[in-house]
């Protein structure tokens, strides 16, 4: 982070603005919203600005800036059109360790103004660290649509009962759950529809009731193949409310960062022949944590029910009587195929698709090969990198044309995505000469040839990865 986001209390505090034009006026308006007492110094001051600062708490001085203007000030803004004056203000403020902002000169700013959504007392601030104010503004507009305007009055209401709730409900976990239920339930709904008195009454009734011990729950969530944009809304919502997160190796840091910041995060990732935590232990842990009243997020790469052992985990949960939710995710086959420009089925080339594990058991890839050599079928191999030469060899041995196209997709849907294409005959050799990084997915079938036609036009594909067969 280049800037630490903080919210500054400026009520009845002196803020200095040097400059008297339109830019200065916008800053003054912002300061007034925070109830600051403004000292404005400028040779020329717009009459509207002068009007804005009428009243005896503010000071307007029509003269040149002097260092004495900094006396008793908490914050400084320079908004003149003279670079020399702006610099002088910056230097004088810096000498006194005062936070200073020189408008439109990021190098002369010790703080910057974010784009804000004001639903006071709820305030959302968005910043691009000065690199693109337009982007921050667009983002703000998008966020604005998610935050109902009644959130301000809702927050004010909740604030009134905060102490009482603290007093009545001593457990932090139970209290937190209580507030979540209020915010997601009928009290909030009443506030949104403007029925403040009824909302108050209901909130008080809720507080009267004995608060139950929190019951835990497990969310088995598919995090998709890598690109955070491929998460579902439901996944994101549960990610942001879970108390504990158990995640595996396939879940990227970027996605992990989207879970609740103060949630405990436990890596239980599995790697080929290097299981960080045995499956049984993971299942036991889910049960134990949920029994402690926690909301446990089991975050898995792709989809939890496709080579994800999700079935085994819920068996344990069901046996222990623990409530759970399962959230599907985009499985690697769908994600990689889409981002590589390879349709898994196609009217002319493939009427069916199979997902198969290429994981070696006892060093042999023990699959029903006769089922996998059918024409007009796409076969996707998960966990197949080590057995790739064996897969190609067996498919040819069982009658598949050696010229059948095959693609190997590395780290699909991420910026590191790479796609290698070849044929069953050439692929094993081609891969030997490359430094291939896990995870990888293999697609076999005529549809792979369509990539040359389609991938050029795709915009979400990583630029490092040209569509030419290697």
Which residues have a catalytic role annotated? 248, 270
The span of 253-261, 274-282, 302-310, 398-406 binding ligand SAH (CB under 6 A) equals 302-310
Distance, CA of 41 to CA of 399 (rounded, Å): 86
Residues 423-452 that bind ligand SAH (CB under 6 A): 439-441
Q: Which residue stretch of 26-34, 95-103, 109-117, 331-339 sits at the interface with ligand SAH (rule: CB under 6 A)?
A: 331-339
The shares of helix, strand and coil residues in the chain, as percent rounded to the nearest 5, are 40, 20, 40
308 in contact with ligand SAH (CB under 6 A): yes
Which tokens is 197 given? 């008195």
Q: In terms of CB distance, is 82 or 279 closer to ligand SAH?
A: 279
One residue of 307, 324, 349, 420 binding ligand SAH per CB under 6 A: 307
Does 114 participate in binding ligand SAH (rule CB under 6 A)?
no
Question: Does residue number 241 form part of the binding site for ligand SAH (CB under 6 A)?
Answer: no
286 touches ligand SAH (CB under 6 A): no
CA–CA dist 109, 240 (Å, integer): 33
Show the DSSP H helices in 43-171 as ranges. 47-52, 83-95, 133-146, 151-160, 162-168
Q: Give min distance, CB of 245 to ligand SAH, in A.
A: 17
> In 3D, which of 74, 54, 51, 76 has the Cα closest to residue 65?
76
Strand positions, DSSP E, 301-365? 324-327, 352-357
Using DSSP, state whether 302 is helix, strand or coil: strand
303 touches ligand SAH by CB under 6 A = yes
Q: Which of 331, 378, 404, 421 binds ligand SAH (CB under 6 A)?
A: 331
For residue 314, give the nearest of 333, 332, 329, 327 by alpha carbon.
327
Count of residues near ligand SAH by CB under 6 A: 22
Residue 441 CA to residue 387 CA, distance in Å, equals 12
Collect all residues with Cβ–Cβ distance below 8 Å to 428 and sequence separation of at least 6: 388, 389, 392, 393
Among 114, 216, 412, 422, binds ligand SAH (CB under 6 A): 412
Q: Are 387 and 272 in contact (CB under 8 A)?
A: no
C-beta of 334: minimal distance to ligand SAH in Å? 8
> Judged by CB, which is closer to ligand SAH: 218, or 306?
306
For ligand SAH, the closer of residues 58 and 300 by Cβ is 300
**Binding piece for ligand SAH, criterion CB under 6 A, among 105-113, 366-374, 407-415, 447-455:** 407-415
Beta bridge partners of 156: none
Interface residue with ligand SAH among 250, 251, 289, 448 (CB under 6 A) is 250
Residues that bind ligand SAH (CB under 6 A): 225-226, 250, 300-303, 306-308, 331-332, 336, 382-383, 409, 411-413, 439-441
């Amino acid at each position: 982070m280049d800037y630490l986001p903080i919210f500054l209390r400026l009520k009845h505090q002196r803020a200095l603005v040097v400059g008297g034009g339109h830019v200065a006026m916008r800053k003054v308006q912002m300061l007034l919203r925070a109830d600051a007492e403004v000292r404005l110094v400028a040779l020329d001051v717009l009459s509207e600005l002068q009007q804005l600062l009428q009243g005896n708490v503010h000071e307007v001085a029509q003269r040149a800036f002097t260092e004495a203007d900094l006396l008793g000030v908490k914050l400084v803004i320079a908004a003149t059109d003279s670079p020399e004056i702006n610099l002088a203000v910056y230097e004088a403020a810096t000498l006194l360790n005062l936070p200073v902002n020189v408008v439109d000169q990021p190098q002369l700013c010790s703080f910057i103004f974010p784009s804000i959504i004001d639903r006071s007392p709820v305030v959302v601030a968005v910043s691009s660290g000065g690199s693109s104010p337009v982007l921050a503004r667009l983002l703000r507009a998008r966020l604005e649509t998610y935050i109902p305007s009644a959130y301000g009055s809702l927050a004010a209401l909740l604030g009134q009962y905060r102490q009482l709730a603290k007093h009545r409900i001593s457990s932090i976990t139970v209290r937190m759950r209580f507030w979540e239920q209020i915010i997601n339930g009928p009290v909030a709904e009443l506030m949104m529809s403007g029925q403040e008195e009824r909302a108050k009454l209901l909130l008080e009734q809720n507080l009267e009731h004995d608060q139950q011990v929190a019951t835990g729950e497990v969310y088995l969530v598919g995090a998709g193949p890598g690109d955070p944009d491929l998460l579902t809304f439901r996944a994101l919502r549960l990610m942001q409310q879970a108390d504990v997160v158990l995640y595996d190796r396939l879940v990227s840091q970027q996605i992990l960062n989207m879970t609740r910041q103060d949630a405990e995060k436990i890596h239980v990732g599995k790697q080929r022949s290097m299981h960080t935590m045995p499956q049984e232990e993971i299942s036991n842990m889910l049960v134990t944590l949920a029994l402690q009243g926690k909301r446990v997020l089991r975050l898995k790469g792709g989809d939890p029910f496709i080579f994800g052992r999700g079935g085994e985990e819920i068996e344990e949960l069901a046996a222990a009587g623990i409530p759970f939710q399962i959230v599907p995710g985009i499985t690697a086959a769908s994600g990689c195929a889409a981002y590589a420009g390879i349709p898994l089925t196609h009217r002319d080339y493939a009427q069916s698709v199979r997902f198969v594990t290429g994981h070696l058991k006892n060093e042999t890839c023990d699959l029903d090969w006769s089922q996998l050599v059918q024409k007009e079928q796409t076969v996707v191999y998960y966990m197949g990198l080590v057995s790739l030469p064996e897969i190609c060899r067996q498919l040819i041995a069982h009658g598949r044309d050696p010229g059948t196209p095959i693609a190997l997709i590395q780290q699909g849907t991420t910026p590191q995505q790479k796609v290698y294409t070849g044929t069953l005959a050439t692929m094993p050799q081609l891969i030997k000469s490359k430094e291939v990084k896990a995870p990888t997915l293999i697609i076999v079938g005529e549809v792979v040839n369509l990539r040359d036609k389609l991938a050029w036009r795709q915009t979400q594909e990583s630029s490092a990865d040209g569509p030419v067969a290697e």
